[in-house]
Amino acid sequence: MLEGSIKGYTEAEKTNPYGITFFDRGLLDTLCYAKMIGMAVSEELNYMASQYKYNKNVFLLPAWKEIYETDSERKQNWQEAVYTYEKMKETYLEYGYSIIEVPKLSVVERADFILSALK
């Protein structure tokens, strides 16, 4: 996951150096998952988090029970999904990011919310 996050970050930086890029997952997600399984976050991982900085404002979509489903890619049960959301929020705040929580609205309204926040 870490290698994939760094690769995605550097590729986006090369191909879109002045534009806006949205990442579904980032380097800090890797750190969060490591902490969730009881792995210590090494100095090297902390260093990488300081080198691969994202915009200070991070959009976070809360767990939403009414639309939550498991599938071949999303294997977490509802309780695990809520816990992951809480830990992600905690991790991004710990590393100095500001959280913009995307409200539970229709897809179009969520997209409009995010585009408005970019202005």
- Convert the pLDDT of each residue in 19-44 to its tens digit: 888 998 889 999 999 999 999 888 99
Report pLDDT digits (tens) over 60-69: 999 999 998 8
pLDDT of amino acid 17: 75
pTM (2 d.p.): 0.88
Share of the chain above pLDDT 90, in %: 64
Which residues in the chain belong to E strands, given as ranges? 57-60, 98-101
Angstrom distance (rounded) from CA 47 to CA 43: 6
Tokens matching residue 117: 């926040």
pLDDT category, 104, cuts 50, 70, 90?
very high
Give the integer Cα–Cα distance in Å for 61 and 10. Answer: 24
Record the tokens describing residue 47, joined without a space: 């260093």
Distance (Å, rounded) from C-alpha 47 to C-alpha 49? 5
Q: Please, what sign has the CA dihedral across residues 46, 10, 8, 65?
A: positive
Report pLDDT for 18. Answer: 77
Query: Alpha carbon 90 to chain centroid distance?
Result: 11
> In the structure, what pLDDT confidence band is assigned to residue 13 with cuts at 50, 70 and 90?
confident
Better-scored residue on pLDDT, 80 or 2: 80
